[in-house]
Structures are given as structure tokens and as C-alpha cells.
């Protein structure tokens, strides 16, 4: 009967009403958020790791270096923190869901194909926003860092939008590896990228050859935007934003093509 209906019914009559399309997107977003909130093993490290690093290496150990050092580390650990929900929220979960057949099941459901990925993207953006808020609370409340409301808002937007390139990269990695191997592979990308982008130590302290490699990492460009957001740089960020957008599109397209081929 379904096959007959697909042949007989005109295309317009088979289209899902817009209200149902919007409802499907909203339902998938809500489901994805609830699923991650019920997984403290994932959410707690994502939220606590950058805040613990900032508390120890920023507020405790660098307080004597003045407010600019604390603002620099606020931007640095902010970028370090937002990378995690993008890479691991997409990469590990996508690889696992491909292995256990959940992605195949979702494809068979009567839902828009982009709702699944959009739900994960929204969850990553919300997690990134929470990371930035926690860091700001610690910076202002414990470190007494002079951050204006405008700077705090700019850093928040930077973090929530800046997670998207790492979502694309995580999605691409998730199409290449198995679920059990995804955490290890992503850590091999996450940690070196953080170090080589100047998030743990300033780029000026790295060897010259490593400094020249910094522009190839998206985290380096996001770091430049974050430093501008907290008032530590006046350099234009247009080129950095273009690189981040291009990185997002490139890996998003590569991941989508691979998903169509191999599922």
C-alpha cells in the first residue's frame, strides 16, 4: 500500500506539513538535550575540566601576574572548554550510534534528515555556553577580573558559535572510526591542537617552527577571536571568522558525503 501511495499520490500531498517539520526538529533537539543531561559521565568532564584548569592555573597560580594574565587565560580556557562538546559530543556519540544501529533507525523514522544533526549541534552550543558562563563566574567572582558586560556577552557568543567548527570536525571523525576507538582518536587531536594553538602557553613561548603551524588549527583562530572579545587584542578578526566558517563548511560537507555513502 505504501508503494502504491508513493506512485499514485502527487508529490505535494506526500509532503510533511511545515508544522510537523518544525515539531520534528524541536522534538529531536529536546530529546538530544535530555539524553545528554542524563549522561553525567559525559557532561561533568566537559563542564568541569576547563573550570578546574582555570581555577588552578589561572586564579591560583597566576593571580600575582595581574588581571591581564587572568583575562588571557579566561579566553584560552574558554576556547579549550568549547572544543570538547563539539569534538566529543559529535564524534564519540556519532561513532557509537553508527555501531549500534541507532543512526540507521533514525534514518528510517519519518523525520527530517537534518533534525538529528541539528539536535546535536544545539546541545553542543548549549554546553559551550555553560562552560563560558562558569568560567566568567569564576573569573569575576574569584579572580576579580575586570570584565565588562559587553565583553562577557561577546565571549559567550564567541564560545557558542565557535563550537561549530569542532562539531564539523567531530562529525567527520565520527564517520571514520568505530565507537570504541573514537575517544582515543579525538584525544589525539584535541590535546595537541590545544597546546599548538597557544591555549596552554602563549605562542611566543613555543619554538618558531610550531608557531608557524598555529594558523592551520581552528582553535588558534577561535583563540584570536576570544582575545578580541575580552579586550586583549584590537586586531581585526574578519579573516579568523572566514577561516572558521570555511573549516566548518569543509568538514561538514565531507562528513555529510561520507554519511550518505557508508551510514
Does residue 28 lie in a domain region? no
Is 90 exceeded by the pLDDT of residue 230? yes
Q: How many domains does the chain have?
A: 1
Is 50 exceeded by the pLDDT of residue 43? yes
Quick one: pLDDT at residue 245?
96
How high is the mean pLDDT of the chain? 83
Least confident of 18-22, 81-85, 160-164: 18-22
**Entry pTM:** 0.85
Q: Which residue would you say has higher pLDDT here, 101 or 124?
A: 124
Does residue 248 lie in a domain region? yes
Quick one: pLDDT at residue 7?
40
Does residue 2 lie in a domain region? no
> Contact at 8 Å (CB) between 145 and 66?
no
Please enumerate in sequence order all residues whose Cβ is within 8 A of that of 243, keeping only pairs 6 or more positions apart, or say none.
215, 218, 221
Mean of the pLDDT values across residues 49-56?
89
> Contact at 8 Å (CB) between 41 and 131?
no
Does residue 7 lie in a domain region? no
Quick one: pLDDT at residue 214?
87
Using 50, 70 and 90 to split pLDDT, how confident is the model at 13?
very low
Domain ranges, residue 98: 40-262
Amino acid at each position: 500500500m505504501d508503494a502504491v501511495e508513493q506512485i499514485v499520490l502527487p508529490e505535494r500531498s506526500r509532503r510533511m506539513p511545515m508544522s510537523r517539520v518544525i515539531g520534528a526538529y524541536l522534538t529531536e533537539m529536546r530529546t538530544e538535550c535530555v539524553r545528554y543531561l542524563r549522561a553525567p559521565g559525559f557532561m561533568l568532564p566537559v563542564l568541569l575540566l576547563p573550570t578546574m584548569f582555570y581555577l588552578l592555573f589561572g586564579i591560583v597560580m597566576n593571580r600575582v601576574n595581574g588581571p591581564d594574565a587572568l583575562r588571557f587565560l579566561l579566553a584560552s580556557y574558554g576556547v579549550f572548554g568549547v572544543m570538547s562538546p563539539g569534538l566529543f559530543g559529535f564524534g564519540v556519540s556519532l561513532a557509537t550510534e553508527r555501531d549500534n544501529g541507532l543512526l540507521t533507525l533514525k534514518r528510517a523514522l519519518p523525520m527530517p534528515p537534518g533534525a538529528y544533526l541539528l539536535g546535536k549541534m544545539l546541545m553542543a552550543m548549549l554546553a559551550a555556553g555553560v562552560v563560558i558562563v562558569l568560567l566568567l563566574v569564576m573569573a569575576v567572582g574569584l579572580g576579580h577580573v575586570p570584565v565588562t558586560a559587553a565583553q562577557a556577552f561577546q565571549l559567550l557568543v564567541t564560545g557558542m558559535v565557535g563550537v561549530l567548527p569542532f562539531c564539523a570536525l567531530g562529525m567527520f571523525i565520527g564517520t571514520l572510526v568505530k565507537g570504541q576507538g573514537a575517544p582515543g582518536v579525538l584525544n589525539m587531536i584535541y590535546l595537541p591542537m590545544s597546546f599548538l594553538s597557544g591555549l596552554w602557553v602563549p605562542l611566543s613561548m613555543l619554538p618558531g617552527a610550531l608557531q608557524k603551524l598555529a594558523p592551520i588549527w581552528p582553535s588558534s583562530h577561535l583563540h584570536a577571536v576570544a582575545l578580541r572579545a575580552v579586550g586583549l587584542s584590537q586586531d581585526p578578526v574578519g579573516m579568523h571568522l572566514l577561516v572558521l566558517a570555511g573549516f566548518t563548511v569543509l568538514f561538514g560537507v565531507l562528513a555529510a558525503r561520507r554519511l550518505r555513502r557508508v551510514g
